[in-house]
Chain A
Amino acid sequence: MTSATVWVLAAASIFGIGLYALIVARHLLRQLVAVNVMGSAVFVLLVVAAGPIAGSLDGIPLALVLTGIVVAVSATGFALALIVRLAEATGSISLEHDGEPDDR
């Protein structure tokens, strides 16, 4: 088992955990954290899967992930604005009512 294998398996598990929570969680804040966790897993996978070149990491996935981190936090800010607005408008912190899924 090499280091790269360890990181790939960890990233895959984190992605799976995030997806599971995204499906089962009701609270929108928790679903947002789940999306962020999945994003972090993808970042780790991108960097590890590219592998090192001549002792240092491949610069292209690093640049993608660097901008990805900043774009992810801005998307989180936008999502939180939507969640706060939804709570103000409906008083609900979930996309369901009384535990019944919406007919959408």
Chain B
Amino acid sequence: MNLAVDLSIAAGLVVLAWRSLAGRDLFRGIVMYIVFGLLLAVTWARLGSPDLAMAEAAIGAGVTGALLMVAYWRLRRISPAEPADPSPRRSHLAAAVALLSTGVVAAIGLAAVGAIGPGGIAGRALVEALPATGLGNPITGVLVVFRNLDTVLEVAVLLAAYLAVRAVLGDRGETLAQPPPQVARLVGALVGVVAPLSVLVAVYLLRVGSYLPGGAFQAGAVLAACGVLLLLTGRLRATADAGPWVRGSLVVGTVVFGLFGVAMLAFGEPLLAIPGTWAVYLIETAMMVSIAVTLMLLFAGAAGLGGGRR
């Protein structure tokens, strides 16, 4: 029964990957990719990782799908003469290269599964070292305590992506597509329920993230998806300049994490030592705000955010 479930989800993923990328209709490919994201959330659930299922639900199925749809619309508007579905280019090598890479990836994966046995060495060290940190969720342990330099840099990568988008698009506050005004009240009812609930769930995920599935990345992803909803319904507006709140939110994750880590040096501790769970909560809250605001701005493709119409 276990194998049958694994086989059907895995086969579904392969078919969806193929259908997202094949065929002539680009819009169909985007819908297929959204469904691919949904099935990937089911995959993480099946593999036993609620953390990844949460992040995938908010990002894979929510933010990325909306991002691709809005980009599709923008491209149709910018260059309506271009075909939405140009025919694939002919390549004699493509199939051979793809087959070869499939074989290499499969060989690497099968070798890894066969060679290491139950869990990696670092993974076993993690299980042993985790109780000393006072955390119960190994992922939060890795992100905030054991490999925290990586995490600071990952939040910095988000900031870099924001700066790169600004450099490419310049300072613009483009109005995103809005749903038709006739359905504004209906959509408002949905936003009125989903937005407060998203904040509640994000705070819940942040709170339980130290001992249960959850944490800054999942909470930030939820808030970002909620922000995408607000941008799509005109509750938030993309603006051409970033106000002090937006600037502060963008850097607060990196700054709090970084300052905290450096400050620990003054107390004779190693760089980025974490003195207790209170510090974990502080850092995670700052990271959540940065992740959420950065992803919202990347979606809007704009410098800042402002209040929109009610």
Q: Do chains A and B touch in the complex (CB under 8 A)?
A: yes
- Measured CB to CB, the nearest residue on chain B to A13 is B14
Say whether A66 contacts B51, CB under 8 Å. Answer: yes
Say whether B295 contacts A53, CB under 8 Å. Answer: no
B124: A residues at CB distance < 8 A: 53
Say whether A36 contacts B109, CB under 8 Å. Answer: no
A51: B residues at CB distance < 8 A: 113, 116-120
Say whether B91 contacts A24, CB under 8 Å. Answer: yes
B14: A residues at CB distance < 8 A: 10, 13-14, 17
Q: Contacting chain A: which of B2-10, B175-183, B232-240?
A: B2-10
Say whether B49 contacts A57, CB under 8 Å. Answer: yes
B243 within 8 A of partner (CB): no
Checking B64, B72, B119 against A58 with a beta-carbon cut-off of 8 angstroms, the contacting residue is B119
Shortest C-beta distance, A47 to chain B (Å), equals 6
Q: How far is the CA of A88 from the CA of B147 in the complex (A)?
A: 41
Q: Contacting chain A: which of B25-33, B185-193, B257-265?
A: B25-33
A76: B residues at CB distance < 8 A: 64, 67-68
Shortest C-beta distance, A56 to chain B (Å), equals 7
Shortest C-beta distance, B59 to chain A (Å), equals 5
Say whether B36 contacts A84, CB under 8 Å. Answer: no
- Listed in ascending order, the chain A residues whose CB lies under 8 Å from chain B are 1-21, 23-27, 29-30, 32-34, 36-37, 40-41, 43-45, 47-54, 56-63, 65-67, 69-71, 73-78, 80-85, 87-88, 91-94, 96, 99, 101
